[in-house]
Amino acid sequence: MSKNNPDYDTLLQAAEDISRECYAHADDIEKARRLPEHISKKLAQAELYKLGIPRHVGGLEAPPGITSQIFETLARGDASCAWVTFISATSGTALASIPDEAAAEVFSDPTMLLTGVFAPTGKAEKVEGGFQVNGRWQWGSGSQNAGWVLGGCMLTENGKPMLDSSGKPRHTMLIMPAEEIEFLDTWHVSGLRGTGSLDYQVNNLFVPEARAVGYLEGGSARKNPIYAFPSFTFLALGIGAVCMGIARAAIDELVSLAIKKRRISASKTVAEQQISQMKLAQAEADLRSARLFYYHTLDTAWQSASAGNKVSLEQRRDLRLATTNAVIKSAGVVDEMYHLGGGSAVYENSRLQRHFRDIHVATSHIMVAPSTLETIGRLLFGLKSNSSTL
C-alpha cells in the first residue's frame, strides 16, 4: 500500500487473518508468555506496527477509529496479540515529537516494533549532547520483540530536577535501542500472559537529546490530526478497544458452548434456559451500546482534529468516559458469559476462563481505573479538576 494513501480495508483484512491465526495458536502464545516471533513478524509485515508512526518517515498515521477496529479484531483472536499491537501504535506516535532525522533513524527498518512505558520511573541526568539514563520500568509489553524501547524519565541536571515553564518537575520519554536494555523475567501473571510485559532496566545508558521525546524542536508531523490527540487518550482508547474485542469473543464462545451444553440433571441445554437467554440479550445490549458510545465520541473528536482544531477538554472528557464505560461494560459481559459457562469454564482448556483472566488484567490499567470516573464526574459538575491524565 502507498504510504500516502493507506488501504484501510487491507489493514482490517490483515487484522482479521492474523486474528484467526492467533486464535489457533492462543495456547502457544500464553505458554510462551510473549508473542512468538512468527506472529510478531506477520504483524510487522502487515504494517500493523506502523499504525501510529508519522507518515513522513514511512508510517501509516492511521485514524484512531481504524486502529481501534484493528485492535478489537485482533482481540477476538487473542487479547495479548491485540495488546502488543495497540501499545506499538501508541508508542509510535512519540516519533512525531522528536526531530525528523532522529525519527527516520529509529524507523529505518519498516518492520521495526517500537514499544515502551510512559510512566516516568526512570531518571535522566542532563549531560553534554544528551542524557545519562538509569531506571527500571514495569509493563514492557512486546519489548522482547522490539527494536527500540521507550522509558519514561524524570529529567535532572546537576542532580536537581529540571523544571517546566510552570515550575513543575519535567519528565519525558527517551527512546533506547533494545540491545542496550536488560530484560527481566518478571511476567508471571494471571492474564494477558502472551504480552511479555516484563520489567526492563538500564544502567548509565547515554541517550542523545534528539531521542528525548518533546525535548528539542522538530517533528514535522506534530500538527497532523492524529497528533492532536493527547498520548494518554490514545493509551486509554486502545485498552477500550481490546476489552470490547475480548467481550465479543466471550459472547461468541458462550453461544457456541451453550447450544450443546446441558447441566447435570437438566433437560434443556444452557441455550434453551430462560436465564441464559435473558443474560445473553442484556450482554449484547451492553456491548453494542458501549461500542456505539465509544465510536461516536471518537468520530466526533476526530472530525474536530481533522478540521485543524484541538481536541477540547470536553471532548477528552467524553472520550475517556466512553472508553472507561466500554471497559466496565466489557468486563461485565465477560463475567456473565464466564458464569453462564458453568463448571466447564474453570478448566484451562476453556477460552472463557482465558477471556475472564485477560480482561481483569486489562481493567487494572491506571488509564481506565475508577478514579477516572471521579475526574470525569467533577468536570460534569463544573468543578475544578486535574485533567492532566485526560
Q: Residue 293 and residue 207: Cα distance in Å, rounded? A: 42
Residue 25 lies in a domain: yes
Classify residue 358: in a domain, yes or no: yes
Task: Specify whether 124 is located in the same domain as 83.
Answer: no
CATH number of the domain at 338, please: 1.20.140.10
- Mean pLDDT to the nearest integer, 146-163: 96
pTM across the whole model = 0.95
Would you say 248 and 302 are in contact if contact means Cβ atoms under 8 Å apart? Answer: no
If you average pLDDT over residues 363-390, what whole number do you get?
90
Per the CB < 8 A criterion, the answer to whether 58 and 338 are in contact is no
Nearest C-alpha neighbor of 170 from the set 189, 183, 180, 157:
157
Number of neighbours of residue 264 by Cβ within 10 angstroms:
6
CA 252-254-258 angle, to 5 degrees, is: 125
Average pLDDT over residues 75-103: 95
pLDDT of amino acid 231: 76
pLDDT at 265 over 80: no
Q: What is the pLDDT of residues 343-366, one digit of tens each?
A: 999 999 999 999 999 999 999 998
Q: What percent of the chain has pLDDT over 70?
A: 97
The pLDDT value given to residue 233? 85
Indicate the pLDDT class of residue 4, thresholds 50, 70 and 90.
very low
Closest by Cα among 390, 65, 96, 95 to 230: 390
Question: Mean pLDDT, to the nearest integer, of 99-118?
Answer: 92
Is 375 found in the same domain as 256?
A: yes
Give yes or no: residues 61 and 153 share one domain. no
Residues 55 and 29 in one domain: yes
Does residue 275 sit within a domain?
yes
Of residues 222 and 18, the one with the higher pLDDT is 18
What residues form DSSP beta bridges with 212?
174
Question: What's the number of domains the chain is made of?
Answer: 3
Q: Select, from the ranges 104-113, 267-276, 351-360, the one with the highest average predicted confidence (pLDDT).
A: 351-360
Question: Is the same domain home to 14 and 88?
Answer: yes
Q: Are residues 247 and 307 in the same domain?
A: yes
Domain range for 185: 114-211
Inform me whether the pLDDT recorded for 69 exceeds 80: yes
Would you say residue 3 has pLDDT above 50? no
Retrieve residue 173's grid coordinates: 520519554
Q: Are residue 96 and residue 119 in the same domain, yes or no?
A: no
Which residue, of 179, 211, 243, is where some domain finishes? 211
The SS3 assignment for 151 reads: strand
Q: Average pLDDT, stretch 230-239?
A: 87
Q: Is residue 224 part of a domain?
A: no
282-307 confidence digits (pLDDT tens): 999 999 999 999 999 999 999 999 99
| Nearest residue to 23 (alpha-carbon basis) of 249, 282, 334 | 249
HEC per residue, 287-318? HHHHHHHHHHHHHHHHHHHHCCCCCCHHHHHH
Largest CA distance in the chain: 77
C-alpha distances in Å from residue 334, one per residue of 81, 261, 271, 295, 355:
18, 18, 17, 20, 7
Please state which of the ranges 20-29, 80-89, 228-237, 333-342 shows the lowest mean pLDDT.
Answer: 228-237
Domain-embedded: residue 223: no
- End-of-domain residue from the set 69, 100, 131: 100
According to DSSP, the residues that pair with 173 across neighbouring strands are 152
Residue 267 has pLDDT above 90, yes or no: no
Q: Are residues 324 and 300 in the same domain?
A: yes
135 & 249 share domain:
no
Among residues 181, 211, 241, the one where a domain terminates is: 211
> Do 286 and 366 belong to one domain?
yes
Query: pLDDT tens digits, residue range 88-100?
Result: 999 999 999 999 9
The verdict on residue 126 lying in a domain is yes
- The dihedrals phi and psi of 117, each to the nearest 5 degrees, come to -125, 130
